[in-house]
A = this chain, B = another copy of it.
Amino acid sequence: MRKSRVETAETRRRIVDVASREFRANGLHATGVADVMAEAGLSHGGFYRHFGSKDHLIAEACESALTTLIGSLEKAADGRNGKDGLKAIVNAYLSTSHRDRLADGCPLAGVGSELVRASEETREVAAQGIAEVVELLAMQIDPRRGKAARSEAVFIAAAMVGAVTIARIIPDPDASASVLQDVKKHVEMR
A interface residues (Cβ-Cβ under 8 A, vs B)? 26-27, 29-30, 102, 108-117, 120, 123-124, 126-127, 130, 151-152, 154-155, 157-163, 165-166, 168-172, 175, 178-179, 182-183, 185-187
Contacts and interface: CB of A to CB of B under 8 A. Distances in A.
A119 to B, nearest CB: 10
Given A182-B151, A182-B155, A165 B127 contact: no
Nearest to A130: B166
A184 B142 CA distance: 21
Contacts of A29: 27, 29-30
A169 B27 contact: no
The 3 closest A-B pairs by CB, nearest first: A162-B162, A158-B162, A29-B29
Contact of A154 (B111, B113, B183): B183
Given A27-B29, A182-B151, A116 B158 contact: no
B186 A152 contact: yes
A185 B127 contact: no
27 contacts: A27-B29, A27-B113, A29-B29, A29-B30, A30-B117, A108-B162, A108-B169, A109-B113, A112-B113, A113-B114, A115-B169, A116-B168, A120-B171, A123-B169, A127-B171, A127-B175, A130-B169, A151-B185, A152-B182, A154-B178, A158-B158, A158-B162, A158-B166, A158-B179, A158-B183, A159-B159, A162-B163
